[in-house]
Amino acid sequence: RDFIPDNRVSFQDPPCSFTQVTDDMGTKQWIVDAFTDKLFNGNQAAVMVLKRWPEDSLLQSIAKENNYSETAYLVPGATPADWELRWFTPGVEIELCGHATLAAAWVLYNKGFVPPETPEVRLKTRLRGTLVVSKAEGGFLSMSFPRLQTVKAPLPDYLRPLFNPDDIIDTVQDSTGPGKGGDFMVVLRSPEAVQKFVTDDKLVAKLPMRGLTITAAYPTPKEYCLRGFFPAVGISEDPVTGSAHCLAAPYWHEKWGLGPYVASSANQICPSRSGNMKCRVTSDRVILKGEVREFSESTVRVSKL
């Protein structure tokens, strides 16, 4: 509690006062590329650190104005390592987002919001519990996400025109069933089939869940690729979707018989941008490790923040 960086967050009494922002200054916003070691790759996210939660409609309006796949909002908790986190697409608030969580933690660590020696930050979400992000070697951040279980599910008839039947190995979905938080996943025979896939937003949006992911294994050991499509929440194709690997990584790790201390490499191969991460899978968690690159720092001049 003695750590008070210049012009950042004070955790004195009251425990969470925000001294960086004044009405005439506006609120800082960072745009970063997550799950990449190169600028202009990975997935873009906007990150804002707020004094308190404003109206949801304002958070949604800012996310729509940003027009990135996700805008992440943080509000201080009881200690420098505890924060509340929410994510908004241009269209809706979502339950879970990997790349914007990585981006939010990177801002906390690199913009003076937590003491540099803090080993981990705990991000309390509204629907997915508390997500823990910790520092890792080489400038990486490591995130602990909930493991999602897969169940066999038939390919809906309305999606069949999108696929060559000979390319399909398996079709599964999140075991929690229909709902905007889960995904339907199609396993294809090769990375080339994943690359060549052409989506149709109207058809994919019919899914009674968050969206569609397609995946395939590389010939090299412990490596797979993935693409994610989420038009129901306003995203035609997401460049890198950390939360999708909460379903895909356990699927592949079970196929390959990998233990909890063995990592796989996951590549997301969106035609416009690409990204990568390391994945480990335990009995109830998926550990995603990735890098972040900063693109910009700006000021949002909205007085109601």
Catalytic residues: 70
* Beta carbons of 303 and 262 less than 8 angstroms apart: no
* Beta carbons of 128 and 96 less than 8 angstroms apart: yes
Q: Which among 220, 213, 212 has a CA at the least distance from the CA of 265?
A: 220
Token pair, residue 194, equals 């994943």
* Beta carbons of 229 and 204 less than 8 angstroms apart: yes
Instruction: Quote the DSSP letter at residue 90.
Output: S
Q: What is the 3-state secondary structure (H, E, C) of 226-279?
A: EEEEEHHHCEEEECCCHHHHHHHHHHHHHHHCCCCCCCEEEEECCCCCCEEEEE
**Distance between CA atoms of 280 and 246, rounded to whole angstroms?**
10
- Give backbone dihedrals phi and psi of 16, rounded to 5 degrees, phi first: -140, 75
Helix (H, G, I), strand (E, B) or coil at 176: coil
* Beta carbons of 47 and 70 less than 8 angstroms apart: no
- Give backbone dihedrals phi and psi of 115, rounded to 5 degrees, phi first: -60, 140
